Structures are given as structure tokens and as C-alpha cells.
Structure 1
């Protein structure tokens, strides 16, 4: 498959400084635009918004989940699960992994201990690191111009506000892109620290375990094209098991501290009750099917069969794009297998709701496919769509806040 062939080493030492500066220019320009959007959203924030009528840009840092990360940093995790008035497990800090909030707290200490300041610094630096790592990952198979455009799409995308607010996504993306680069370059040793870092930053490392399993199978069937040595087999198996263990580690920690083996799962289900009242349960794929039923039958008043048909068609289209679309195939088998693994992970565990756009961010290496066409009109058009989508998300999440996703 021609799309899977590696290009020559794209970054000789003398050009790395130039590349870092170009990526920095793209990233800083995107952050200025995002800051303007956040300022406008704060100005438009009303009494119905979560931030209130007198909000400022600083309020966006600790809005929504930023408040939970701040709470983790200053209060830690509860030793017993809080209960709602109905006696069910209430929303609590166990839903949020510890690395980002504690790192932001440590960074904030020289700046008066203001957690929000540390959060912005960590998110900004990690976002730039993620942009550089994405460049290095995509440049393996794309030319420099296309790769820089992909970085511009990534830095300006619909959810790009995450790079400068109190969310863990930018830090997790940095670990993830570095990990994918390691797999592409067969630098397996670095994955042993990267996998636990991912596991304690954001949920989703189980998808990386599935990715390594699929990658190992692919390597086995293509071992005549690229020799598969015993040491590589050992690394792939060991790293896949490490990712699986790390993916379940937080659940065991939550259960051990609280004395409730289901502490983490019960905490996650508490958020679903914001959408579907009652006592939800969990089984693989059940959240996805429950979400289709909720949106089509309860909210949109449409036939459930239509919802299943459209959802099935969407899954088939995404699978076909990853398997056959030439622009996607240009990115290489590793990115395609990661994207497929992560989508399967979401189908297994995610109840579709307002967080869906944010949870798709780990698919960001696919921005490379949008950058493959050489048409300047196409590339500028994609960038404009990214910026329009970014303003839409910021306006709805911060200017409108609670009033946007209110369930009737």
C-alpha cells in the first residue's frame, strides 16, 4: 500500500529550530483568535450562563469541568462517595484523573498559588507540545506544507479553546501524539512511561491497548515486508497489557479508597442522570444505544429505527473512510488503526451528549487527511470552517452555558 510508505527523514537537525518557530507562529496566532472568541463570549454571558452576567475571560478557565479539576487540586478525592437527595451516588471528583490538576497546582505555586494560572500555563505549553508532536507524526508521511496546514487546522479547530482553559485534553494529546510517533518509528521503549501518563491524565488508554493489539496483528501479517523480531513482539504484547492494566487502575484506586468497588462506574453514571433520570446501568455498547434512543425518541420525537439506521450508516461511513479514502490512507496504517480503535472505544462506553465534540479530539491526527489536497481554496476553506466551528462551540458553552444543553 503506497499510502503506508515512509518518506525520508523530514527534520534534519539544522531545520528543527525553523520548524519549531513555524509551528509556534501558527499556534500563537490561533491562540490570539481563541482569546478574542473567549473575550466576546464572556461579554455576551448572561444570567442563564454558568459564568454569570459579569463574567471575564478568566472565568472560562475554571468553568464546566475546570471547576472539578480545581476542586481535585485543592481538596483531593472523597474517601466516601457523596449521595444525592434520592440516595444515589452524586457527581464527584473521582470522575477526573489526577495528573493534570496536580501538575497545574504545582505550576501555580510560583504565581501566588492561583490554580487557574497554573492550568492556563500547563494547557498552553502542552498544546504547543502537542502541535509539535503532531507535526512530527504527520511529517513522516506528508510534505512540509501539508503538515503545517494540518497543524493549523488542529490549533484552530472547533474545540481549540481546550488549549487555554482548565481541561486535561491538551496534556493528554501531547502524550498521545508522542506515543503514536513512537509506534510509527518503532521506538517502543518510550511507551512504557507514556502509557501511564496517558492513563492518569484522561480516560481512553484502553483504546490504546486495543490499538496495540490491532497493530501487532497487522505487523504479524506484514512481517515479510518489514521483519518482525522477537523483541518487537515482546514490546507490543507487554505494552498492550500495560495499557489494559493502566486503563483499569483508576477504577481499582477509587474502589480501594472509598471501599466501594463500583465507585468509579457509579460516579460516571451520575453524570448520565443529568440527561436520563433514573438509575442507569452499564454494559458494553449500552450507553451508545441508550443515547440513540434518548435523542431520537425522547428529544427529537423521531422513530427509533431511523436513529439506529443513521447511527449504523455513520459507523459504516467512518469505517469505509478509514479503510479506503486515499487522503486517510496517506497518513499510514498506525493512524488509521488508532482512529478505528478509539471510535470502537467510544461506541463501547460513551453516552452521546454535549461532550461528544470534545471526546473526538483524540482523532486529531486525521486533520492530516484534510490537508492532503493541494488546493489553497480548499485549505483556506477548511480553516475558516474550523474557526466558525470554534466560535460556535465557545459561544454555546460559555456565552449561553447551561441554557444551551438544557434537556426539556
Structure 2
């Protein structure tokens, strides 16, 4: 057989397969790999201090970690009185979690009886994940071609966070709404974005980043209006959608404040999670961008390096990311909508997030940038990236579900 014949033959065969069936085959294969890893991780769960104990199962993983909070919301709702610790500060509670995924999973799980919520949660994540793959393929096909779009889906479905497709986390449902919104923005189907913004805003934090994306796109369209006419109707949609995104982005804080009669209920709840890592218990007042400026020196010192090393690493990573968005040939092919969202979402994380063990999961909405890797037409490079994805997926699953016995193993 001539060199390269095998991959080209496989590509030609796949090209003849209906898109939905080909994506389904990729998705099922990826989920079988993840399931095998989760089963293997149950054998690691006997380690001293393991969160899940020596008798862990797929079911306990599905309902583990933050899934417990979503399940609690489905059963008990949200507290009207915020729980306080011995020091008088607000402690962790369900107001940190938005309700839509919990409610949808509860409805889907109703036919499965009293313990049906984990089943419903797993089904919602699985189905939403497959639909995400279809939307991602549709988005990428028009920008980088069919086979490159397929490879983008392969990397997404098999990536380091592959377990999120099968456990009780809201990321996959939120990703579906986000990808549909980005696809609608690319295709200039503005009307469909109104409900999607609301759905995103009550599934996972981050809709403010999409609002900023809309603002940046309006500026770009205005600059290019001589080449790409910008109708008054489109301006109205950009402004209306952006305003809706801002309102929805702050709505949960208002709702939490009204229900608990504490206007800072949501912010104090979020800050309580920092107590795991910070000497002050996470009780310092919130200030935009302060989380990263505080945490990076902390993590550097924890690893035995001077604090400034952490800030230097952050600066280098941000510089490389900015270069990739501005000049990276693969990223440029994805179009301004995806590039603007990538920049907006990273800016949002820098403004509000405190970097800790969940940082990789919080980067999950950057998924469309996989297209910059899928675009590369090198079979060996694609193979190396896929292998690396699977290895990193196992590392993540083994640590956060298998061993799960220390603060840096929180997903």
C-alpha cells in the first residue's frame, strides 16, 4: 500500500457518510473510551482520603462533585436564609449554581423513579453533547471544510474534559446553547439569539462574554460597512441582544438578593469557594481582576517559586493567546465571531474568576477554537493531538474521580 493511502481511503469513505451518522460514530466511539476510563477510575477510588470511597461506581461519579449541588437544587431549591459559618461569613450554598440544568435533568429523570435525577442528568449531558458535535461540525464546515470540521469534532468529543459529556455538570447543556448562539451570529439569524441568551444566562455563568462579543461584532461591522453593508435592523438587533445579555448576566445576582434579602448573596456565596485556597478564607471583598493577581503569586509560592513567577507565566500565556487570536493562521480561518468570543470569554474569566483546580473546566467554552487544530491537514499531527487528548482525559479522570483526595483534585 502506498504511503498515505489508508488515511485518504478512510477520509473518502467518511465523506460519503451522512453527516449526522458520521458524527454519531465519532461520538459513540469517544464516549466508549470515556466510559472505559471512568470504570478504570473506580478501581483507583480506594486511595486514602478518596472522596468516592472504595466502592465507587459510574453512578457515584455521575452524581459526584458539583452534580450534588444540582441534585440538591432539584429536590430542595434555594435557601431563603444564607448559611453562615462560625466566623459569621456566608458559607457554600446552592446560590452559586444556576437552575436550568438542574430542572431539565429533573424532568428527564422523572420516569426513573425517586433516584432518577442522576439518570436524567447523564442523559441530558449525553444528548446535549451529541447535539453540540452536530452544531460544531456545521459551524466549522463552512469555515475550514468538511474533514477539518470532522477532526474538530473528534478533538472536542475526545478532549481532556471528555467526562463532562457523561456526568451531572451543566457544561454540556450550556455549550449547546453557546454553539447555537455562535452559529446564529455567524449566519446572522439574530432572532434565534434572544431565547438562547436567556437559556445560557440561567445555565452557566458567562453570558456577559457573549454580550461583549456582540458589541465587538457591531464595531467591526460598522468599520466594514462599506464592504459589508450594515442595515439599521441589524444595528437594532446587536444593541438589543447586547442589552439583553447584560440584563440576563446580572439577573441571578438580583434574584438571589431579592429571595435572601441580602443584595450581596450571590457574590458572597461565590467568594466562599475561595476559602479552600486562600489564607483569609476567601473573605476579601471582590474586585475585578484581583483573583488572578492574588492567586498566581500564591500558586507560584506553593510550588516553591517566587510570587512574581506566577504573574510572569500568566503574562506569557495571555500574550501567546492574544497572538493566536490576532495572527494565528488556523484561528483566523474561524472568523471574527469565534475569535471575538474567545477574547471576550478570557477577559470575562480574568475579571471574575479565581484560578484554581477548576480552571481547565472553566476554559471549556473556548471549544470552538479546536477548529484551529482541526484545520491542519497533517495526519501525523492530528494523530498526535488526538493521542494527547486521550492521555490528558485519563489524567483528569484519574485525578478528579479516581483519587479525588486533595484540594487540587477538585474538577
- Relative to the length of structure 2, the TM-score reads 0.93
- Contact between 1:43 and 1:56, CA under 8 Å: does it hold in 2? no
Deviations 1:377-404 (A, max 9, x none): 1111111100001000000001111326
Aligned to 2:405: 402
Is 1:326 aligned to residue 329 of structure 2? yes
- SS state of the match for residue 44, structure 1? coil
- Contact between 2:357 and 2:409, CA under 8 Å: does it hold in 1? no
Matches within 5 A, 1:283-298: 283-297=287-301
- Contact between 1:396 and 1:404, CA under 8 Å: does it hold in 2? no
- Contact between 2:297 and 2:308, CA under 8 Å: does it hold in 1? no
Aligned to 2:248: 246
Matches within 5 A, 1:103-118: 103-113=104-114, 114-118=116-120
Q: Distance in 2 between matches of 1:136 and 1:145?
A: 12
Is 1:172 aligned to residue 174 of structure 2? yes
Deviations 1:50-70 (A, max 9, x none): 111111111101111011111
Q: Distance in 2 between matches of 1:137 and 1:379?
A: 20
The Cα of 1:16 is off from its aligned counterpart by 11
Tell me which moved more, 228-237 or 396-405.
396-405
Q: Distance in 2 between matches of 1:17 and 1:199?
A: 36
The Cα of 1:88 is off from its aligned counterpart by 1.1
Is 1:385 aligned to residue 349 of structure 2? no
Q: Distance in 1 between matches of 2:219 and 2:253?
A: 28
Aligned to 2:191: 189
- Contact between 1:272 and 1:280, CA under 8 Å: does it hold in 2? no
Aligned to 1:346: 349
Aligned to 1:230: 232
Deviations 1:34-57 (A, max 9, x none): 000000001210241111111111
Aligned to 1:8: none
The Cα of 1:143 is off from its aligned counterpart by 1.0
Q: Distance in 2 between matches of 1:245 and 1:94?
A: 18
- Contact between 1:213 and 1:236, CA under 8 Å: does it hold in 2? yes
The Cα of 1:260 is off from its aligned counterpart by 0.3
Q: Distance in 2 between matches of 1:277 and 1:254?
A: 27
Q: Distance in 2 between matches of 1:405 and 1:321?
A: 29
Aligned to 2:202: 200
Is 1:308 aligned to residue 311 of structure 2? yes
Is 1:216 aligned to residue 218 of structure 2? yes
Aligned to 1:358: 361
Q: Distance in 2 between matches of 1:406 and 1:176?
A: 27
Q: Distance in 1 between matches of 2:275 and 2:285?
A: 11
Structure 1 residues without counterparts, runs of 5 or longer? 1-14
- SS state of the match for residue 404, structure 2? helix
Please, what is the CA RMSD of the aligned residues?
1.4
Q: Distance in 2 between matches of 1:84 and 1:143?
A: 55
The Cα of 1:226 is off from its aligned counterpart by 1.0
The Cα of 1:367 is off from its aligned counterpart by 0.5
Q: Distance in 1 between matches of 2:60 and 2:269?
A: 26
Q: Distance in 2 between matches of 1:405 and 1:337?
A: 31
The Cα of 1:17 is off from its aligned counterpart by 8.5
- Relative to the length of structure 1, the TM-score reads 0.94
Aligned to 1:134: 136
Deviations 1:349-381 (A, max 9, x none): 111101100011100001111111111111111
- Contact between 1:141 and 1:332, CA under 8 Å: does it hold in 2? yes
